[in-house]
A and B are shown apart, each in its own frame.
Chain A
């Protein structure tokens, strides 16, 4: 008896071990043997294992950790693979989590590129020592000035502006001027903006800390918190909806959400987009706040050449136009044509700041927001 149940225990342990092993095997099968990322450490080996028709084209792969999550990105990756034969492997996640993952993986990381939205986060990846300079004349030529890291550790892929939208029937654009003016008594109970836990707001506040100084920025944040028509809730789109619903008169939000609502599948959202106007603030002064989506080359990248090839592809005129068409983001390549809606808003002056500032001032911005009670 003793022996019999002992063998049971051993049996159970074996089954569990098998389950674990088979689990991995199952996963590999399910993803179609895409999981040969370990091979990334050893390109020669990878090529050996690849089927012949794939190696003919050039082969190899590029591994991406990305916090961008747009269908157009996936489409562009597969176009790139079709064009070059380089396979694109992707892990999507939240930017700070991916940074943590990269830090912990250290020199062993299989990642070649880190792609995210927000200059502050790109700068964090840089200051954490995760990136390395990208040397490419093609990229230098394709990407507009000021949209690349000062040490070329990351390059921009697209930008978006954080603007004021207003109810066309209640607010005259002439009443609007700057971000700073939104803290005036005039807008008490009329302003809408989402939570300060959102990165877009943190970066805006971080930029104002740099432009106006910490004290002024804190007073500004306190003014915003005091002027809110309601406690912050929902995302950027919800602020525009609330403006049209009459909960407030003006809202701070990103341009591309207005664009996306204007082509929404929901006719009600289209109506909302039609009833709000877009105002680019600080045109007379320091410029409108923009944020950037970009890609950094991982320091321990094993497929550098492929990674740079992908970046050159993503910032080419055609790819940039696709991104802009699909997402209403502004291209970083000046040759790319703007979609009609963006073109109709016209050109505007942008904040002349190093995006690194967003990252450097972010903790301060969070602290200020918590202190002044901007939820």
Chain B
């Protein structure tokens, strides 16, 4: 399986504070990877660098062997941890935008997901609840047949029922040869769908392993291992 993302010696400082400090990662396709760590570990910074929202860093990032650029960004479907939508945005207005900007956007998938998640595509974001906005963002992200899906805390702040629905949607809709990275500190809710897990803390990668191998080696779930590793819950 080819390398989709290669990160070499990545460093990012906020002033003197190291948000990422010598991160090296190689991520391959056809995998769902959990990027796990406590708040402030560097998960969001890493994802923002991959998507181009943070462009001042040291190190090298290759996306399908290309340096990170506008061209490489076309491969990424990204769901941020905060809303990226204005209050006036509706399903249809966003569909028009996505159709024009992303050749891999599929209108039929979007309509199907709106129906499945019981959302009205004519309703503006300003009139939606927080959970509905999360679902709306998920629909936009999953309506693309992207090669890379990056989710930043997709289930934080929604109720357990909505969490299940979100995870199920990701699992059923993503392109099977794609790379899916889910950043979260709610390991228990995502553990069952993960192929690999990355533990990150203080801007450093502590561990990057296959989930099944890790479970049998440590004889505990990823969630238990996470709690033991960080002792923060």
Binding between chains A and B: no
Interface of A toward B, CB cutoff 8 Å: none
